[in-house]
Amino acid sequence: MKDIDKLKINANLSVWVKLKDEGIEYYVKNHNSTMPFKFHISFNEYKKQANEYGYHYFQIWSFLDSFGGLGMRSCDYFDMELVFNKEDFEEIHFV
């Protein structure tokens, strides 16, 4: 059987995601429902946290925790193209 090249990444590493307004609303609502009041954020505050290209930073596990339950509705909340650091990936081989 031929080796199949794959890449793996640690879920503690970074991902950048371009959230739509619906995604920002969803994130802020969930964030504010689980955090103490002094850590609450507004839609506008969180929207301003995007980088100059419009991407928000997450650890991969945190992004999955926040948005993983949306399933096929995910595209209503964020752009399907996720950005990773290529040096974070490690090549592995399955036989």
pLDDT of residue 2: 58
Report how many domains make up the chain: 1
Q: Which long-range contacts (CB under 8 A, 24 or more apart) does 59-63 make?
A: 59/11, 59/12, 59/13, 59/14, 59/15, 60/9, 60/10, 60/11, 60/12, 60/13, 60/14, 60/15, 61/11, 61/12, 63/15, 63/17
Report the b/e string of 9-34 with b at 16+ CB within 10 A. eeeeeebbbbbeeebbebbbeeeeee
Tens of pLDDT, residue by residue over 17-65, are 999 999 999 999 999 999 999 999 999 999 999 999 999 999 999 999 9
Residue 1 pLDDT more than 60?
Answer: no
pLDDT of residue 94: 73
Q: Domain containing 10: what range? A: 4-94
